[in-house]
């Protein structure tokens, strides 16, 4: 039995090493698939268990696919560049106002279309825009990296971690959103004003408004663009409406993506490049993680974690920040997606209540802002920015994260506890 535990933890550690360190440029997806293969080969998880785990996560995988297609089609319609130009023009030449508008745009993109859309699609557009305006891109890049995580609390569809929790605990879209409004607003408010203070010297100047193009220059086909806007609005409304009839968000996202796909084909706006630009590697990455975490569950780690949660029972104002801090720290040690999977298992074994579940989710979402390795979205932001000639060093990110992340996590957790007491 002890050999079984040692082997499982060794393979788990190897998987994390391959994902976070990427030796010889190895892609994250290969890291989790190698880990999953080793778990199966060594008999640490059975093929039946692996298959069951992947099937249980089927809705999450299908939703990711639908959202990826929808985001890619919106990008093809010019929506994100159009929105970025409007945000820049609305700032009227003031860099601090531009910074606020970019932060709001990133938060809205993350909330409605997930943090991966902010990382992969919005970040390069923002970086290109500020470079065109001859501004220092560094504060804007860090804003994109942080808001991809900070803005992901509001909806179940905003983050893969939210989807994993919703799939496990069957949250209503509406009830989840109502509860998370206050913690989300507090997180964004704190994050924005902390950054305004930290980057006050870099964002205190003005820029030449004449350097900005017209928003219409981003639109390749007006009818397709109009159709994209209509579909986006209908999808957002559909998430809430479907919740009333207990329909999973994947159905709404799939219908929206399908409608826009058909309209795009009719308008001749589809090409092979759009398909190749989709982040297909996200699927083997997630599937591999599902299998690896199932093997870790087999050694009884979830039961041990459940005992710890039971031992921390106390007033919500004390317990929730503790749980959020623990999952935040864990997210930076092993990345927030595996941390979310482990948290779901631990919370299930502990028969944890709704407030404890939300606190763990706050830690998984906001905690990764401490280090670059804490969130896949952060790593994607850095990768996207490097293609534009911009970068953030791990040490610089850690310095900013150590100042802001504890404040964001604890502030949102305290608010969640207050909301929980009010709801009760």
Query: Structure pTM?
Result: 0.91
- Distance between alpha carbon 324 and the CA centroid of its chain, in Å? 17
Of the candidates 123, 76, 74, the one whose C-alpha atom is nearest the C-alpha of residue 102 is: 123
**3-class SS of residue 206:** strand
- What percent of the residues of the chain are helix, what percent strand, and what percent coil, each to the nearest 5? 80, 0, 20
Identify the burial level of 245 via C-beta atoms within 10 angstroms of its C-beta, where 0-12 means exposed, 13-18 middle and 19 or more buried: exposed
Of the candidates 389, 413, 381, 371, the one whose C-alpha atom is nearest the C-alpha of residue 121 is: 381
Of the candidates 50, 119, 138, 68, the one whose C-alpha atom is nearest the C-alpha of residue 282 is: 68
For 39-67, give the secondary structure using H, E and C.
HHHCCCCCHHHHHHHHHHCHHHHHHHHHH
What tokens appear for 163 in the block? 């989807």
Report pLDDT for 51.
94
Angle at 297 between CA 296 and CA 303, to 5 degrees: 125
Rounded CA gap, 413 and 325, in Å? Answer: 9
Q: Kindly calculate the radius of gyration of the chain based on its CA atoms and give it in whole angstroms.
A: 21
Report pLDDT for 423.
63
Rounded CA gap, 358 and 344, in Å? Answer: 11
Cα–Cα distances (Å) from 123 to 45, 79, 143, in that order, read: 38, 14, 9
Could you read off the pLDDT tens digit of each residue along the chain, which spans 424 residues?
A: 688 888 999 999 999 899 878 888 888 889 999 999 999 999 999 999 999 989 988 888 999 899 999 999 999 999 999 999 999 999 999 999 999 999 999 999 999 999 989 998 999 999 999 999 989 999 999 999 999 999 999 999 999 999 999 999 999 999 999 999 999 999 999 999 999 999 999 998 888 888 889 999 999 999 999 999 999 999 999 999 998 888 889 999 999 999 999 999 999 998 877 777 778 888 898 899 899 989 988 888 777 777 777 777 777 788 999 999 999 999 998 889 889 999 999 999 888 999 999 999 999 999 999 988 888 888 888 888 888 888 888 889 999 999 999 999 999 999 999 998 776 5
What tokens appear for 327 in the block? 């999952």
């Amino acid at each position: 039995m002890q050999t079984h535990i040692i082997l499982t933890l060794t393979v788990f550690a190897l998987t994390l090493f391959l994902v976070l360190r990427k030796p010889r440029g190895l892609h994250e997806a290969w890291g989790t698939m190698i880990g999953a293969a080793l778990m199966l080969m060594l008999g640490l998880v059975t093929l039946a268990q692996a298959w069951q785990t992947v099937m249980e996560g089927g809705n999450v995988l299908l939703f990711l696919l639908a959202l990826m297609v929808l985001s890619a089609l919106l990008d093809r319609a010019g929506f994100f560049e159009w929105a970025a130009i409007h945000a820049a023009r609305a700032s009227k030449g003031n860099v601090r106002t531009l910074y606020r508008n970019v932060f709001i745009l990133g938060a809205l993109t993350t909330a409605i279309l997930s943090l991966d859309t902010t990382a992969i699609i919005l970040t390069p557009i923002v970086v290109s825009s500020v470079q065109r305006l001859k501004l220092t891109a560094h504060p804007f890049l860090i804003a994109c990296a942080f808001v991809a995580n900070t803005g992901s609390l509001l909806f179940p569809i905003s983050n893969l971690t939210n989807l994993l929790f919703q799939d496990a605990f069957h949250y209503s879209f509406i009830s989840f959103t109502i509860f998370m409004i206050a913690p989300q607003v507090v997180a964004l408010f704190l994050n924005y004003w902390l950054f305004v203070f930290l980057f006050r010297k870099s964002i205190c100047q003005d820029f030449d408004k004449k350097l900005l193009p017209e928003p219409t220059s981003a639109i390749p086909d007006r009818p397709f663009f109009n159709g994209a806007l209509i579909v986006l609005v209908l999808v957002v409304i559909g998430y809430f409406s479907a919740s009333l009839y207990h329909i999973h968000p994947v159905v709404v996202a799939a219908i929206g993506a399908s409608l826009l796909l058909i309209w795009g084909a009719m308008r001749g706006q589809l090409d092979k490049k759009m398909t190749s630009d989709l982040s297909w590697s996200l699927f083997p990455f997630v599937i591999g993680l599902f299998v690896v975490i199932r093997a870790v569950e087999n050694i009884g780690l979830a039961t041990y974690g459940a005992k710890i949660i039971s031992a921390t029972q106390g007033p919500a104002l004390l317990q929730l920040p503790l749980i959020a801090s623990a999952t935040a720290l864990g997210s930076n040690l092993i990345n927030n997606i595996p941390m979310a999977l482990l948290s779901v298992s631990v919370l299930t074994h502990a028969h944890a209540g709704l407030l404890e579940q939300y606190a763990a989710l706050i830690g998984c979402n906001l905690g990764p802002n401490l280090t670059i390795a804490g969130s896949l979205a952060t790593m994607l932001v850095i990768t996207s920015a490097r293609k534009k000639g911009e970068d953030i060093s791990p040490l610089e990110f850690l310095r900013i994260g150590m100042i802001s992340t504890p404040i964001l996590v604890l502030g949102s957790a305290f608010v969640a506890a207050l909301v929980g007491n009010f709801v009760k």
